[in-house]
Amino acid sequence: ILPRRMTGVAAALAGVRVRVTGAPTSAVDGATAGGRLYVCNHRTLLDAIAISSALGKSVFAVTYSLGRLSELISPIPLLRLTRGREEDRRRMALLLARGDVVVSPEGTTCREPYLLRFSPLFAELADEVSPVAVDERSTMFYGTSTSPIDKCFDSVYFLMNPRPEYSVHFLKPVPTGGQNSSIEVANQVQRVLADALGFTPTALTRKDKYMLLAGNEGTVATKKSN
């Protein structure tokens, strides 16, 4: 609800801390149209907002699951992906042509010190990507949920902590060209982020996570009206 220049002060007064390390990559040069693609691990729904705060400007964020409440209260523009490769490529390319984009290739949040397998789609959209290692500190409430109904309250739960804290670490850009495939680039970015965070990279997917924790594939059946 507040102007961007006031949100930092308001957050500090409310006990929210955002620690920033590393230097954000400078804006793309005139030879490259569009914005920069920031690739981060996925801790909570606030990852992209923390990166936007660290950059001091608004960015586009793409997400696979988005609750109506999260969409309404988000201070940055959000785009829901379809999990359809070609359609998601088209949507992300359009956003990237308009400005900076933040994407979390894990496809779902992970509160443990592990990184899920990265979807390689992001590596096909830009000549280089900027990895950003993000982490959060919670003392009472976790801002992650496996329940689709409760998911919209994840940001609220995180901010209910007495001293919620986010760390944002900008890392050296990774080129996506050359002889490496998009899958190899995705694995490289995953390793870079894992090393920076002290986490363990895995080959587990979003579906694996939900099957282990909730006994489903993370999808909800909807009733079709006649």
Tens of pLDDT, residues 178-214? 888 999 999 999 999 999 999 999 998 877 776 666 5
pLDDT digits (tens, 9 = 90+) for 146-181: 565 666 677 788 888 888 999 999 999 999 988 889
SS3 (DSSP) at 108: coil
pLDDT attached to residue 126 = 93
pLDDT attached to residue 181 = 94
The yes-or-no verdict on residue 38 having pLDDT over 90 is yes
pLDDT digits (tens, 9 = 90+) for 52-108: 999 989 999 998 766 677 777 788 888 888 888 899 999 999 999 999 999 999 988
CA atoms within 13 A on the CB side of 133: 21
Q: Which DSSP category does 198 fall into?
A: T
Helices 47-55 + 4-13 axis angle, to 10: 110
Q: What are 6's two structure tokens? A: 């006031």
pLDDT digits (tens, 9 = 90+) for 108-118: 888 889 999 99
CA 167 – CA 190 distance, rounded (Å): 18
From 11-15, 80-84, 216-220, the region with the lowest mean pLDDT: 216-220
Candidates 159, 156, 187; CA nearest to 174 is 187
Task: Check: CB of residue 133 under 8 Å from CB of residue 40.
Answer: yes
From 30-34, 133-137, 159-163, 206-210, the region with the lowest mean pLDDT: 30-34
pLDDT attached to residue 31 = 40
Strand 165-170 vs strand 128-137: parallel, antiparallel, or unpaired?
A: antiparallel
pLDDT attached to residue 210 = 64
Q: pLDDT tier at 217 (50, 70, 90 boundaries)?
A: low
CA 103 – CA 134 distance, rounded (Å): 12
pLDDT attached to residue 84 = 87
pLDDT attached to residue 200 = 95
Candidates 146, 205, 193; CA nearest to 47 is 193
Phi-psi region of 35 (alpha: psi -120 to 50; beta: other; left: phi over 0): beta
More confident residue, 41 or 80: 41
Cβ neighbours of residue 224 under 8 Å, at least 6 residues apart? none
pLDDT attached to residue 29 = 46
Distance from the Cα of residue 187 to its chain's centroid: 16
